[in-house]
Homo-oligomer: A and B are copies of this chain.
Amino acid sequence: MADRRFFPYAGPFRLAEIAEMTGAELRNCPDPSLEVTGVAALDRAVSGDLGFLENRRYLSALGETKASACFVAAAFVDRAPPELTLLVTDRPRRNFARISRLFHPEDRPEPGIHQSAIVADGVRLGEGCRVDAGAVIDADVEIGDGAWIGPNVVIGKGVTIGAGTRVDANASLSHCDIGARCLIYPGARVGQPGFGFEVDASGPLKMPQLGRVIIEDDVEVGANTTVDRGAGPDTVIGRGTMIDNLVQIGHNVEIGKGCIIVAQVGIAGSTKLEDYVVLGGQVGVAGHITIGTGAQVAAQSGVNKGVPAGARMGGSPTVPMREFRRQVAAVKALGRRVDKSDQEDN
């Protein structure tokens, strides 16, 4: 049960309502007017809760759950205990997510500008915006309807922010245009100058960084993640891309639609990710290369040259995943072989 200090509660809902909203088919359901009181994972659910089962790996939880109802794929219906009401659907997890949001709607406090916020002249705020305490918004910023600027956020001159976007606590934005329905997490830094130098005998000389950051609609930028502005071209993050915490996006990087960038990834300057690319945690990507549509790179890998569309890559430097697995096996064998001969030596 979600803690009501933190998550507003809008339940309960009747089984029949849930089935109707999701298109799921009710089974083992003596009374569709019975109410579900909450949502929870099967292994943590209590009586009255609604759970879900999508992955065969968690089948054992189905038999032992205390939940009263469960979204489940047709293939697993026979495995459920008879007293558990089932909501049969092709997409148990997605429907569970949807109903979870129904029980615990996102917490959007009242619109308004806190009296301690500092909003410069010439700022245009849409309808229903909220600006929290201590936020600082510089001249000529433009903020869309229903956007929410969190406490102690800093927004630099001329920035635009789309409708419904939330910028969370202590984040800072400059030299950028942010789309609609984005979520900028606490402490994210967007728009600072990129890391570009001319080096000679007297040391590094900073190059001017005269580009912007363009973030399209429905993007998430994780906590304490940094997105540098372009040097001349812009840094671009495509629609629906999800960026986790502590990620570094260098100047002039172009990221396509629907990419998933896991925590602590670093992408060097002028590199391009096409659509639906997935980078595992702590991956490093060199500058000036392209990663093709749908490519996936395993955690901790180092991408030092272009990756074709659809490829699965691993290692540092990266090779195709199949080859990487064999590298790992070969190096393991080497380590053990040496081990054996060592013991023979003793």
Taken residue by residue from 299 to 319, chain A's Cβ proximity to chain B (1 for < 8 Å, 0 otherwise) reads as 110101000000000001101
Q: How far, in Å, is A161 (CB) from chain B's closest CB?
A: 13
| Chain B residues with CB under 8 A of A281 | 248, 266, 268, 284
Q: Is the CB of B203 within 8 A of A257?
A: yes
Q: Which of B91, B94, B276, B342 contacts A203 (CB 8 A)?
A: B276
Q: Is the CB of B151 within 8 A of A133?
A: no
Q: Is the CB of B5 within 8 A of A157?
A: yes
Q: Which of B41, B118, B222, B317 contacts A116 (CB 8 A)?
A: B118
Bound complex: CA of A175 vs CA of B330, how far in Å?
46
A275 and chain B: residue at smallest CB distance: B203
Q: Is the CB of B266 within 8 A of A284?
A: no
Within 8 A of B (CB), among A131-156: 132-134, 136, 140, 150-152, 154, 156
| Chain B residues with CB under 8 A of A326 | 334-336, 338-339, 342
Asked if A290 lies at the interface with its beta carbon under 8 angstroms from chain B, I say: no
Within 8 A of B (CB), among A145-194: 150-152, 154, 156-158, 168-172, 174-175, 185-187, 189, 192-193
| Chain B residues with CB under 8 A of A332 | 319, 323, 327
Q: Is the CB of B222 within 8 A of A224?
A: no
Q: Is the CB of A222 within 8 A of B198?
A: no
Interface size in chain A (residues, C-beta < 8 A): 112
Q: Is the CB of B319 within 8 A of A329?
A: no
Asked if A12 lies at the interface with its beta carbon under 8 angstroms from chain B, I say: no
| Chain B residues with CB under 8 A of A245 | 189, 192, 195, 226, 228, 248
Count copies of this chain in the complex: 3
| Chain B residues with CB under 8 A of A195 | 222, 242, 244-245, 262-263
A38 and chain B: residue at smallest CB distance: B210
Bound complex: CA of A233 vs CA of B334, how far in Å?
41
Within 8 A of B (CB), among A193-213: 193, 195, 197-200, 202-208, 210-212
Q: Which A residues have a C-beta under 8 Å from some C-beta of B?
A: 2-3, 5-7, 39-41, 44, 91, 93-94, 97, 100-101, 104, 107, 114, 116, 118, 132-134, 136, 140, 150-152, 154, 156-158, 168-172, 174-175, 185-187, 189, 192-193, 195, 197-200, 202-208, 210-212, 220, 222-224, 226, 228, 232-233, 240, 242, 244-246, 248, 250, 257-258, 260, 262-264, 266, 268, 276, 281-282, 284, 286, 299-300, 302, 304, 316-317, 319, 322-324, 326-332, 334-339, 342
